[in-house]
Amino acid sequence: MRKANLALKLIRRSSFPLFVLILAALTLHFNRVYAQKDYIDLKDPKSKEIVLAKIGNTPITLGELVAFGKSSPAYYGFLQIPGGPDKLLKELVFERLLLLEGKDMKIPEPSGSNDALYLLRIKKELLPDLPPVTEKEAKEYYQKHLDEFSTPLLLRLSQIKVYFSENTRKAARSKIEKALEELKKGASFAEVAKRFSQEPISASRGGDIGFVPVSSLTPEEAKEQILKLKKGQISPILTIGNSFTIVKLTDRKEPIVDPFDKVKALVFDKAEQAKRKAQVEKLRQRLEKKWKVRYLENLS
């Protein structure tokens, strides 16, 4: 089943909290009927019935995911970043799987139907304490994740940005192509940016947006193109959000790596977290296989 990026058409006087609107605006994979639409109206009761995943024959719907997102402040962040709702869905599925596994293993349930306490009891049973991280493991982690212990790679970029909507996409593409044509003919980037770019702050500075950490560049396709640039080079036309963008690399600051001894405590902490994360992921995969979990793209 094809994936769809569906943007919420905001409805005035909506009674839904902001983070619920954000949830619908981010990337989710929906069934074929809704994938043909260009927005999801959360005021439509049918939206809550969209099936996102199944555990065996039991469906998990958008309505359940929204309720799960509202259940704890710890989950709000998932609703504010691209890909967040998909991660939240995996957490909801994992929670359901833990409860199923706990009952299947006949792990005693606490009095008062306290799911949160029961989940802790199940996790303690299924995720035993790990042995301490050794010096060798810490050093191996450090070598494999040097970017976590260094200043970020910083790129100084300039941009020409032309925004589009569904109705103006063709005209916006034509405009950015004219800008690219002028650049290829030798026009200065700053001059072209001032005349063509629709992002007012950078346009007033000839397109300059200053130094940007590589980790902040999205989407991944655009990041890959930008990382290929050498100083003074311009990118092809990139689609970034609702804009066509041309980027020029004007300078870069290479990362500075902290020596192991200086960040030793942090390395041990991160290595331990990675070890625990791997343990949890292994359990997740085992339970998904046992209880026959299917996400939307695998649904018929």
**pLDDT single digits (tens) 29-69:** 333 333 334 345 556 778 889 999 999 999 999 889 988 98
Please compute the mean of the pLDDT values over residues 164-173 and round it to a whole number: 95
Amino acid found at 204: S
Task: Please indicate, yes or no, whether residues 103 and 9 belong to a single structural domain of this protein.
Answer: yes
What was the pLDDT predicted at 266?
Answer: 98
Res. 4: pLDDT tops 80: no
Amino acid found at 255: P
The token pair that represents 133 in the structure block: 């991280």
Res. 82: pLDDT tops 70: no
What was the pLDDT predicted at 130?
Answer: 95
- Alpha-carbon gap, residue 124 to 280, rounded angstroms: 12
Bridge partners of 61, per DSSP, are 51
What was the pLDDT predicted at 46?
Answer: 82
Please tell me the least confidently modeled range out of 48-62, 74-88, 180-194. Answer: 74-88
Please report whether residue 93 resides in a domain.
yes
Task: Please indicate, yes or no, whether residues 195 and 107 belong to a single structural domain of this protein.
Answer: no
Cα→Cα distances 128→15, 121, 123, 205, 290, Å: 44, 11, 8, 57, 20
Count structural domains, the chain.
Answer: 2
- In three-state secondary structure terms, 60 is strand
Task: Please indicate, yes or no, whether residues 34 and 96 belong to a single structural domain of this protein.
Answer: yes
Average pLDDT over the chain, rounded to an integer: 85
Domain that holds residue 206: 151-253
Please report whether residue 285 resides in a domain.
no
What was the pLDDT predicted at 70?
Answer: 83
Amino acid found at 226: I
For residues 206-227, b (16+ Cβ closer than 10 Å) or e, as one string? bbbbeebeeeebeeeebbeebe
CB atoms within 10 A of CB 138: 20
Task: Please indicate, yes or no, whether residues 86 and 161 belong to a single structural domain of this protein.
Answer: no
What was the pLDDT predicted at 69?
Answer: 86
| pLDDT tens figures, 113-167 | 788 999 999 999 999 999 999 999 999 999 999 999 999 999 999 999 999 998 9
What was the pLDDT predicted at 110?
Answer: 87
- Alpha-carbon gap, residue 176 to 293, rounded angstroms: 45
Task: Please indicate, yes or no, whether residues 79 and 157 belong to a single structural domain of this protein.
Answer: no
Kindly tell me the sign of the dihedral angle through the C-alpha atoms of 286, 288, 292, 295: negative
What was the pLDDT predicted at 79?
Answer: 61
Task: Please indicate, yes or no, whether residues 80 and 158 belong to a single structural domain of this protein.
Answer: no
What was the pLDDT predicted at 24?
Answer: 41
Please report whether residue 269 resides in a domain.
no
CATH number at residue 161: 3.10.50.40
Task: Please indicate, yes or no, whether residues 246 and 170 belong to a single structural domain of this protein.
Answer: yes
Res. 257: pLDDT tops 70: yes
Q: What is the pTM of this model?
A: 0.63
Please report whether residue 156 resides in a domain.
yes
Bridge partners of 212, per DSSP, are 155
